[in-house]
Structure formats: structure tokens, C-alpha cells
Amino acid sequence: MSTEIRRIYCVDTSSFVYCQRSFGERQSQVAFYAEVWRLLDRLADEERLISPGLVLPEITKNNDRIGQWANAHRSVFRPRGEHAGRVAEILREPGQRLVDPTAPRGSEEADPWVIALAEAVTASQPTLFDAASLGIVVSEEMKSGGIRDVCLRRMVTHHDFTEMLGAEGLGFGGTS
């Protein structure tokens, strides 16, 4: 039995948007940050980067680099109904501000699904030959009662996009 932990990143729209703005706005950025895009490809191929299906239309509405990447990696995006019970539990939590009840359908709606996906990954039982999995929420949102706060209260590991890159051994300049 393996004692290694397999990190599975559950990515929110905000981190995909951050990736586009930071590493994909111009062709020169895509070329300069090619390692970022190779890492995303590898994580997707290894089934270590996942996201709720609600995120896909949000990041593919523009034909930008992240939208093209998402269309080429559709297996990353999980069906909406997965883990609905966990989502309901998360939404009953006092103080959460994941979904604005007065807002039209939008990016905030995926937030509880991202957390539920990470919790389900962590709760899954490893097989005899597989490593245990740790679901890690990846989001840029910092609002009070938002993803980061709910993850902290529910003891779900949370990273922003650059923390995910660092956890996978990708760094930019400087020395440690």
C-alpha cells in the first residue's frame, strides 16, 4: 500500500481566469510561460486537475488561450449533479457567502461545487495499489465567507493558482 498522497486540484473559475490573464493574454506570454501550460496539460492527463462542469461555459465563452485549453481537456470538467448532497450541506453552513441568492446565474454558483468536489476526492478510499488522494481547492477569491473561508472552516486544503504551481515544483525566479 502506498503512503504517498496524490494531490488532486479542484479548480474554480477565478483561477482559470487568473491563469489566462497572467500567462495567456498575449502569444509572448504563452511562449514565455510554456511550463505553466505544460503543467496544466500534465495535471489534466494524470486526472489530477478537475473542475465542476459549471466552470466550462464560463471559461470557454471567449476563444482565448484558457478557453482553447479547456475545450481540448473536456474530461477535466465533471457533471453538475456530482456530490449534490455535499453542496446542500455546504450551502446550509452559517456565514457562507458562496452564492448570492439575488444574482443571476454566474461564476459564484460553481463555488460550492468546487468545495464539494475536493471533499469527495479526499473522502474517496484508495485501492491497495493507489495513493490516498487529497482534494485541494484552487481559487483566487478572498471575500469574507467565500471559498477560502469555507475551506478553512471545513478543513479543506486551499491554494491560489501560484501556490498550486509551487506545490507542483514550478517556480519563477529567485532562490529559496
Q: 74-124, pLDDT tens digit by residue?
A: 999 998 778 889 999 999 999 899 887 776 654 447 999 999 999 999 999
Closest CA to 16 of 45, 50, 42, 46: 50
- 63/44: higher pLDDT: 44
Report the distance separating Cα 145 and Cα 152, nearest Å.
10
Q: 14-31, pLDDT tens digit by residue?
A: 999 999 999 998 888 888
The CATH number of the domain where 83 resides is what?
Answer: 3.40.50.1010
**Residue 176, in any domain of the structure:** no
**Residue 156, in any domain of the structure:** yes
- Domain boundaries, position 137: 5-167
For the chain, what percent of residues have pLDDT higher than 70?
92
pTM exceeds 0.75 for this model? yes
